[in-house]
Amino acid sequence: MTKPVVLFVCVHNAGRSQMAAGWLRHLAGETVEVRSAGSEPRDQLNPVAVEAMQEVGIDITTAVPQLLRTETVQDSDVVITMGCGDACPIFPGKRYEDWALTDPAGQPIEVVRQVRDDIRTRIEKLAKELQTA
């Protein structure tokens, strides 16, 4: 069986989607292929998101915001969007979820920690579902 491909999408690909990708890599290891992208990617990660993830032992400093491409969606099995609206193309047969999460851009570390922890809870559930699929 091939491993599932999970794509996390947010507007800037600098905070939420990168934290989600970091969590899934950390919790699922090599059992899942993880991607992330943004409809309007920034040139660097949100430093507060990086700091919040480092607090729990996850290093996302090497991640680079990527532009969302139709092919990336097409080549993914699960697409999780986080506030990017209709920017994400829809393909039949894919699993889509939209996670309503606070945008960490410009937020203090206390708010970003809450977003990080909310994402972890969702990732734990997703990882279990992927293992039993």
Q: What is the CATH number of the domain that holds 35?
A: 3.40.50.2300
- The total number of structural domains in the chain stands at 1
Q: Tens of pLDDT along the chain (133 residues)?
A: 589 999 999 989 999 999 999 999 999 999 999 999 998 999 999 999 999 999 999 999 999 999 999 999 999 999 999 976 666 677 788 899 999 999 999 999 999 999 999 999 999 999 999 988 7
20, 108 contact by CB (below 8 A): no
20, 119 contact by CB (below 8 A): yes
Report pLDDT for 31. Answer: 93
15, 46 contact by CB (below 8 A): yes
Q: Containing domain of residue 37, as a range?
A: 5-132
pTM score, whole prediction: 0.94
Task: Give catalytic residues, as residue numbers.
Answer: 10, 84, 88
